[in-house]
Amino acid sequence: MQVLKRRLEKSEEYWERAKKVIPAGTQTLSKGPTQYVQGVAPKYLKSGRGSHVFDVDGNEYIDYAMALHPVILGYSYPRVNEAIRRQLEDGTTFSLMHPLEVEVSEMLVDTVPCAEMVRFGKSGSDATTAAVRVARAFTGRDKIASEGYHGWHDWYIGTTEHSKGVPQAVKALTETFRYNDIEGLRQVFAKNEGGIAAVIMEPVGIVEPKPGFLQEVKDLSHKNGALLIFDEVISGFRMSLGGAQEFFGVTPDLAAFGKAMANGMPISALVGRTDVMSQFNEVFLSHTFGGETLSLAASLATVSELREKKVIPYLWRQGKKLQEAYQKIAEEAHLESGYTISCIGYPPRNVIAFRDVTGKDCLEMKSLFQQEMIKRGILFPGYNAISFSHSDEDIEKTIEAYVDSMKIVAKAAKENNFRKYLEGGVVSPVFRNP
């Protein structure tokens, strides 16, 4: 497959300007330069059509980040764009409530198993934080048991290495446990007997739940008087139309949705049981843009399209093609020196794991593979967020790039020297492993 000739001058010009006016140079760490091989990857994208994006220098790529998962239908998707245009003619934000608040809420209640009532936010962090607050109000307890990633607000981010600025008293209110570790959660309850308001977790990330694990979490939570909150900001509208809770058949008390529900427009939703959600009659959750109509119109169009076009089965089919091809290519590469590469997770959203001889993440190998994919016109972040616009041709070109990139990675592994072939620095994780 041909290596593309690309220029990146405008990306670099914008980056030099950004460093002077934006702390860390970026608004979103996962989109920043630390996540891509510099000197090879673009820094700024200008536009997108379908599954393709175009950077500020005019280079074109097949995109597998899809804006960190929100663009589930495709960039500039006609039905969503038209819904936004129509609403824009009528107005964006009003002095009183808008009918779309009711219509989108009814749609979510009809779609998501646990949804009986709905409140909107603008980000996933809004929804998860609202869930934690209302759970505390409902149970009269303060502490939270947390697994997975849940956004930037104090109650969660205080448990991570990015906790600077979070009071110690706030950090002490959240306990963590590991996915698929029911004994670890049991210990959290034992340590905080009668004090856990809710268990909040991603029902699925990349690792599959052990048989019965999600139901065990629900049963253990309820046995101890705690609510179960599913963070479906990523899994929602991707695993199944009703989210991972529908796919796995385990209904939580509350669930947070976001990302894919509006194909890239900024909106999130907290949904759940009427008796819990009714606490918002007194629990304060109110913001000027809660009823912003462009995002609501986009949500209505997006979920309707997902349902009518049977989008989710398509995501599974296209994702499966990539997974199976990647696994075959990785096996045939016969990596030496104990390095391993595997494609893990479910087809609609899968991750390519690069491991060294000790079984730990090998960022040098990931960086080299990413570099070679980008040079062949594939914007590869380390995972594949499949969209309805990823065509058969896109998949075929991606597999061709896999083959060529794997040859170079295998050669570097044989020499036990990935840096020799890197044209830029090694990528960094947003969160480091403990």
CATH of the domain at 262: 3.40.640.10
Residue-wise pLDDT for 199-229, tens only, equals 999 999 999 999 999 999 999 999 999 999 9
CATH number at residue 24: 3.90.1150.10
DSSP 8-state symbol, 198: E
**Per-residue confidence (pLDDT) for residue 434, from 0 to 100:** 39
Domain assignment of residue 235, yes or no: yes
Q: Which domain holds residue 322?
A: 9-75+311-421
Question: Do residues 279 and 357 share a domain?
Answer: no
Question: Do residues 233 and 282 share a domain?
Answer: yes
Question: Do residues 139 and 62 share a domain?
Answer: no
Q: DSSP of 246-266, one letter per residue?
A: HHHT---SEEEE-GGGGTTSS
Question: Do residues 165 and 280 share a domain?
Answer: yes
When pLDDT is cut at 50, 70 and 90, the band that residue 432 belongs to is low
Domain assignment of residue 104, yes or no: yes
Provide mean pLDDT across the span 140-157: 96
Q: Is residue 264's pLDDT more than 70?
A: yes
For all residues of the chain together, what is the average pLDDT?
96
Provide mean pLDDT across the span 120-137: 98
Catalytic residue among 55, 231, 253, 394: 231
Domain assignment of residue 297, yes or no: no
| Rounded Cα gap, residues 114 and 131, in angstroms | 13
Question: Do residues 287 and 374 share a domain?
Answer: no
Catalytic residue among 61, 64, 77, 149: 149
Cβ-Cβ contacts under 8 Å for 240 (sequence gap 6 or more): 246, 247, 312
Question: Do residues 285 and 328 share a domain?
Answer: no
**Per-residue confidence (pLDDT) for residue 336, from 0 to 100:** 73
Biggest CA–CA distance in the chain, Å, is 66
- If one compares 429 and 305, the residue with the highest pLDDT of the two is 305
Question: Do residues 272 and 155 share a domain?
Answer: yes
Among this protein's residues, is 259 annotated catalytic?
Answer: yes
Domain assignment of residue 301, yes or no: no
Among this protein's residues, is 149 annotated catalytic?
Answer: yes
| pTM for this model (two decimals) | 0.95
Q: Is residue 335's pLDDT more than 90?
A: no
22: left (phi over 0), alpha (psi -120 to 50) or beta: beta
**Percentage of residues of the chain with pLDDT beyond 90:** 94
Catalytic residue among 259, 321, 366, 375: 259
Domain assignment of residue 172, yes or no: yes
**Per-residue confidence (pLDDT) for residue 430, from 0 to 100:** 77
Question: Do residues 64 and 148 share a domain?
Answer: no
Q: Is residue 46's pLDDT more than 70?
A: yes
Question: Do residues 39 and 155 share a domain?
Answer: no
**Per-residue confidence (pLDDT) for residue 5, from 0 to 100:** 83
**Percentage of residues of the chain with pLDDT beyond 70:** 99
Provide mean pLDDT across the span 258-276: 98
Domain assignment of residue 125, yes or no: yes
| Rounded Cα gap, residues 362 and 368, in angstroms | 10
| Rounded Cα gap, residues 364 and 410, in angstroms | 13
Question: Do residues 268 and 390 share a domain?
Answer: no
Residue-wise pLDDT for 52-108, tens only, equals 999 999 999 999 999 999 999 999 999 999 999 999 999 999 999 999 999 999 999
Domain assignment of residue 241, yes or no: yes
Work out how many domains the chain is built from and give that number: 2
